[in-house]
């Protein structure tokens, strides 16, 4: 169960959409693929799913070259790229059944796939009139229906409201538990922090980083925390705690604390707060570490 890019390159005229990408992801996990618009994320996913042909290099899935042995390579892959449209006069059930039969998949479960994305009750309606969010759900169901080992998802929660996003995150967590490899691009770093185990970052068609998310979070740890308590927080008392550099009172029950760098200090301050009788319910870094990592590694949108 693996995806591997070997010197994968895609060139349009003189422009490198992807330049010599070497990347291997393996095992039951979620890998977040990050980068600005135009960095080459979607290009990579399309090369892995035979929607584009590489200018150089190879995309391998489970050891099979997508370019040379497409059918074998894609046998265990489910894909969601952009929000696809569907033949408008068919129903979700028909579309997924067709997909199953075409794939010759034995482990197909149309009902289950539709339930997972919350569209079972719509199974007999024609998709022509569905909203974008509903089509996105059907597209995800189409990726899931053949029960593939590997899922390639391109911004799966795009255009969804908070409930949709939460549901899809839940689906991804379930998939991880049932031993699937998920390779997904996203702009939502909080989402990636929550569901993914590894991150790969890309900019200007070049891979910048591929590491376990813990390593990244640790390396880009911030040094400001926000504290929320049940009772009133006395900002002055906090200033005495060792390691505390600054205190900003946001409301009676909420403060921001700047401290000397280090995870030890961050923990020690929390301990000290609790000892002072602050009933802490929430203690979190301000700004996501993943965002810090992103902003340090990567520039803005590429034109």
Window 226-285: residues binding another protein (CB under 8 A): 226, 228-230, 251, 253-254, 263-264, 266-267, 270-271, 274, 279-285
Query: What is the rounded CA–CA span in Å between residue 259 and residue 163?
Result: 36
**Per rule CB under 8 A, is residue 37 in the interface with another protein?**
yes
For the bound state, the minimum distance from the C-beta of residue 150 to another protein, rounded and expressed in Å, comes to 12
Binding residue (CB under 8 A) for another protein from 31, 95, 171, 247? 95
Which one of 6, 103, 204, 256 is in contact with another protein (CB under 8 A)?
A: 103
- Could you give the C-alpha distances from 157 to 58, 135, 191, 222, 270, in angstroms and in order? 28, 12, 9, 27, 34
Find the shortest distance in angstroms from Cβ 60 to another protein: 15
Q: Show contacts with another protein in window 47-86 (CB under 8 A).
A: 49-53, 70-75, 77, 79, 81-86
Q: What are 220's two structure tokens?
A: 């880009």
Class of residue 139 by CB neighbours under 10 A (exposed 0-12, middle 13-18, buried 19+): buried
Among 18, 99, 140, 144, binds another protein (CB under 8 A): 99
Q: Site for another protein (CB under 8 A): how many residues? A: 94
Least Å distance between CB 240 and another protein? 19
C-beta separation of 167 from 175 below 8 A: no
Place of tokens 């640790």: 218
Which among 20-28, 91-99, 108-116, 234-242 is the span making contact with another protein, rule CB under 8 A? 91-99
Strand 198-203 and strand 206-212: pairing?
A: antiparallel
Report if residue 90 touches another protein, rule: CB under 8 A: yes
Q: Is 102 left (phi over 0), alpha (psi -120 to 50) or beta?
A: alpha
Q: Do the Cβ atoms of 193 and 216 come closer than 8 Å?
A: no
Asked whether 28 and 176 are in contact (CB, 8 A), the reply is yes
Residues numbered 133-172 forming contacts with another protein, rule: CB under 8 A: 133-134, 139, 142, 152, 160-166
Distance of CA 108 to the CA centre of its chain: 25
Q: Helix, strand or coil for residue 288?
A: coil
- The binder of another protein chosen from 26, 68, 101, 112 (CB under 8 A): 101
Shortest spacing between CB 164 and another protein, in angstroms: 7
């Amino acid at each position: 169960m693996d995806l591997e890019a070997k010197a994968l390159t895609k060139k349009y005229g003189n422009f490198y959409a992807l330049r010599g990408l070497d990347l291997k992801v393996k095992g039951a996990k979620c890998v977040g693929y990050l980068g600005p618009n135009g960095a080459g994320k979607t290009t990579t996913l399309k090369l892995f799913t035979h929607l584009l042909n590489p200018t150089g290099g190879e995309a391998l899935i489970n050891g099979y070259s997508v370019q040379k042995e497409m059918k074998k390579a894609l046998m265990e892959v489910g894909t969601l790229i952009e929000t696809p449209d569907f033949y408008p006069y068919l129903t979700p059930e028909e579309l997924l059944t067709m997909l199953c039969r075409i794939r010759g998949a034995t482990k197909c479960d149309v009902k289950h796939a539709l339930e997972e994305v919350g569209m079972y009750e719509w199974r007999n309606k024609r998709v022509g009139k569905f909203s974008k969010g509903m089509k996105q759900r059907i597209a995800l169901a189409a990726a899931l229906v053949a029960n593939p080992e590997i899922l390639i998802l391109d911004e799966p929660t795009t255009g969804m409201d908070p409930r949709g996003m939460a549901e899809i995150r839940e689906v991804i967590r379930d998939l991880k538990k049932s031993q699937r490899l998920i390779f997904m691009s996203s702009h939502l770093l909080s989402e990636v922090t929550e569901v993914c185990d590894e991150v790969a970052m890309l900019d200007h068609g070049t891979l910048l980083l591929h590491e376990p998310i813990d390593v990244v979070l640790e390396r880009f740890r911030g040094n400001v925390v926000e504290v929320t308590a049940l009772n009133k927080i006395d900002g002055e008392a906090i200033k005495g705690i060792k390691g505390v550099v600054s205190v900003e009172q946001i409301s009676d029950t909420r403060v921001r604390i700047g401290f000397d760098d280090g995870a030890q200090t961050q923990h020690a301050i929390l301990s000290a707060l609790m000892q002072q009788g602050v009933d802490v319910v929430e203690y979190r870094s301000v700004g996501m570490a993943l965002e810090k990592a992103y902003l340090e590694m990567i520039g803005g949108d590429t034109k």
